[in-house]
Amino acid sequence: MPPLDLPNLGHVPEHIAIILDGNGRWAKKRGLPRLFGHQAGTQNLRGIVDECAGYGIKYLTIFAFSTENWKRPPDEVSGLMALLEDRIEHWLLQLHDHGVQLRHLGHLEGVHSRLAEKIQNAIELTRNNTRIVLNFAFNYGGRDEIVRAVQHMIEDGLQSWEITPERISEYLYTAGQPDPDLIIRTSGEFRTSNFLVWQSAYSEWYFTPVFWPDFDELELRKALEFFAKRERRFGKVPEQVTTTAG
């Protein structure tokens, strides 16, 4: 499908984040084990990354595995870890060749050393790529991120008067990146699920009933069209936004 007519679209977000939800229900609907849904979801991701890069989106953040997901059935968790390891092996060089820079949001404590090493190697290999940044939120929780940021500020000896919104942002996993302009959640759920708690303060949210494995290029277009129609005020009144834009 050809890309959107960008002049008619108006503008595209610089940073999109996606909660990849509905893999298990997608599989259940087809009488398949949940892991089949996760496999379909990972296959779908590759095309969406390319589509986003084609629109000129500079940052794409995906919520793949939260700090709470460890509570899922052990066989599902182990299957997800094996699937992630397999996808890194098969896609890393291809992503690298396409100019994708991989970054990890979250921490690797408790993650198997072999998988942790592959994640770190992927980050190192792609660190100089500039086409699009793919933030991989794995073993990530928004509240946990803020707690760790505060802990690191204390360790660095910051005084209370030095703690500002800008300084806190410097201690988050997304330091140096713009906050997401648009956050998409698939599967019909209307929850933020502890995702980018700090960074999403002024994000536009787009909820779709489509399960993640079925979220294709057309569905991405719909989300971008939704975003293009939004008036982003950041606390201002409409007249101020119009004046600034003019």
pLDDT computed for residue 235 by the predictor: 52
Any catalytic annotation for residue 21? yes
Q: Which of 69, 194, 214, 216 is catalytic?
A: 69
**57 within domain boundaries:** yes
The Cα 236–Cα 239 span in angstroms is 8
Residue 227 has pLDDT above 90, yes or no: yes
Q: Which pair of structure tokens corresponds to residue 186?
A: 């698939």
Pick the catalytic residue from 5, 8, 21, 179.
21
Q: Look at residue 139 and tell me if it is in a domain.
A: yes
**Is 69 a catalytic site residue?**
yes
Among 55-69, 102-116, 222-236, the least confident range: 222-236
- The per-type count for the chain, helices as H runs and strands as E runs, is 9, 6
pLDDT at 8: 55
Chain position carrying tokens 């606390």: 235
pLDDT value of residue 11? 81
pLDDT digits (tens, 9 = 90+) for 86-106: 999 899 999 999 999 999 999
pLDDT band at 2 (very low <50, low <70, confident <90, very high): very low
Q: Is residue 2 part of a domain?
A: no
Q: Is residue 112 part of a domain?
A: yes
**H-assigned helices in the chain:** 6-9, 23-29, 34-54, 74-97, 113-126, 142-155, 165-170, 217-228, 238-245
Whether 3 maps to a domain, the answer reads: no
Of the candidates 124, 134, 105, the residue with the CA atom closest to the CA atom of residue 15: 134
In a domain, 4, yes or no: no
pLDDT range class, residue 238, cuts 50, 70, 90: low
Q: Does some domain include residue 149?
A: yes
Mean pLDDT, the chain, as a whole number? 90
Q: What is the pLDDT of residue 19?
A: 97
Alpha carbons 237 and 211: distance in angstroms, whole number: 36
Residue 241 maps to which CATH number? 3.40.1180.10
Q: Which range, of 80-89, 155-164, 226-235, averages the lowest pLDDT?
A: 226-235
On the question of pLDDT at 232 being above 70, the answer is no
In this structure, how many other beta carbons lie within 10 angstroms of the beta carbon of residue 56?
14
Domain that holds residue 198: 11-245
Q: Based on C-alpha coordinates, what's the Rg of the chain?
A: 19
* Alpha-carbon dihedral 149, 155, 157, 159, rounded to 10 degrees: 40
Spatial distance between the Cα atoms of 151 and 76, rounded to a whole number of angstroms: 32
Residues 6 or more apart whose Cβ sits within 8 Å of residue 127 = 101
pLDDT digits (tens, 9 = 90+) for 53-83: 999 999 999 998 898 888 988 998 999 999 9
Task: Quote the number of domains for the chain.
Answer: 1
pLDDT in tens, 24-37: 999 999 999 999 99
Check residue 239 and give its pLDDT: 53
Q: With respect to residue 6, please indicate whether it lies within any of the assigned structural domains.
A: no
Integer CA distances (angstroms), 62 to 29, 40, 111, 128, 190, in order: 24, 15, 18, 20, 17
